[in-house]
Amino acid sequence: MSLRFFPIILLIVFATAQFQIETTLEPDTVTVGDQVRLHITVQLPEGKSVTFPDLVSESDQMQITNRELSPDGVTYFLTFWEVGEVTIPAVPVEILEHGQVVSTLSTESFKIQVQSVLDANASDIRDIKGLHAINLPRLRVFLVFGLLLLSLILAVLIWRTRRIKHQRAEKWQAPPDPPHILAAKQLEQLELPALIDVPEAETFYLQLTGIFRDYLENEFFFGAREMTTAELTFHLEHSSFPEELYRNTSSLLNRADLSKFARQVPTRELCQQDVHEVKKLIDEFHAQAPPGIKE
Runs of H (alpha helix) within the chain: 6-17, 138-171, 179-189, 198-220, 229-237, 243-261, 268-288
Q: Is the alpha carbon torsion for 23, 24, 30, 34 positive or negative?
A: negative
The per-residue pLDDT for range 92-106, each reduced to its tens digit, is 877 777 767 777 777
Q: What is the DSSP string of 104-151?
A: EEEPPPEEEEEEPSS-TT-----PPPPP------HHHHHHHHHHHHHH
Partner residues linked to 177 by β-bridges:
none
Q: What is the pLDDT of residue 15?
A: 46
Pairing between β-strand 73-80 and β-strand 35-43 as defined by DSSP bridges: antiparallel
- pLDDT: is 236 or 84 the higher one? 236
Averaged pLDDT of the chain? 79
Minimal CA–CA distance to 115: which of 57, 23, 28, 37? 28
Residue 51 above 70 pLDDT? yes
H or E element, residue 289: none
The per-residue pLDDT for range 3-32, each reduced to its tens digit, is 444 443 334 444 445 667 888 877 777 787
Domain annotation for the chain: domains and CATH numbers: 9-115 (2.60.40), 179-293 (1.20.120)
Between CA 93 and CA 105 the distance in angstroms is: 5
Minimal CA–CA distance to 59: which of 77, 83, 86? 86
The per-residue pLDDT for range 147-177, each reduced to its tens digit, is 888 898 989 989 888 877 766 656 656 678 8
Q: Is the alpha carbon torsion for 198, 204, 208, 214 positive or negative?
A: positive
